[in-house]
Amino acid sequence: MNVQDIVNTVSQKAGLDQATTEKVVGTIFSVLEHEAEGTSASAFFAKIPGADDLAHQYDVMAAAPAGGGGFLSSLQGALGGVLGEKAGALINGVAALKASGLDMAQIQKAGATLIQQAEAAAGPDLTNKVLGSVPSLKGHLGIG
């Protein structure tokens, strides 16, 4: 199973268009890439062809678009600076998901479906190990 298969399934099950789904999946993968520790993250991405490319395309730690920002972006920058890159990646990722126009129920449905698909592709043990290194992400995605 490659990343496009995952995007297609999440799109269908969460009722989102392809472009929005791609952004959601890429954003979540980017948070995992920045926050998950070491070899488990590398092994996880190796099991899902294209996942690392999608994560880079929607990199949550990339510079904000010129002229954008405002208070939320200042707050993200300040918190990211105080809490370090790990917290910054999660804060930026959640902000990007909310900015995509989805409500929390849609984000949670997409996130839960993404996790199910990742488990099918990379195996439940490896997926849970990677998610376990980013425990607060589960809370934001509404998964136990």
Q: What domains appear along the chain, each with residue ranges and CATH number?
A: 3-141 (1.10.490)
| pLDDT computed for residue 144 by the predictor | 59
Average model confidence (pLDDT) for the chain?
83
**pTM to 2 decimals?**
0.82
Cα–Cα–Cα angle for 100, 105, 109, nearest 5°? 90
32, 41 contact by CB (below 8 A): yes
Q: What is the pLDDT of residues 64-108, one digit of tens each?
A: 544 445 545 545 454 444 444 456 788 889 889 888 888 888 999
Any idea which of 2-11, 90-99, 117-126 has the lowest mean pLDDT?
Answer: 90-99
Q: What is the pLDDT of residues 23-69, one digit of tens each?
A: 999 999 999 998 887 788 999 999 999 999 999 999 998 855 444 45
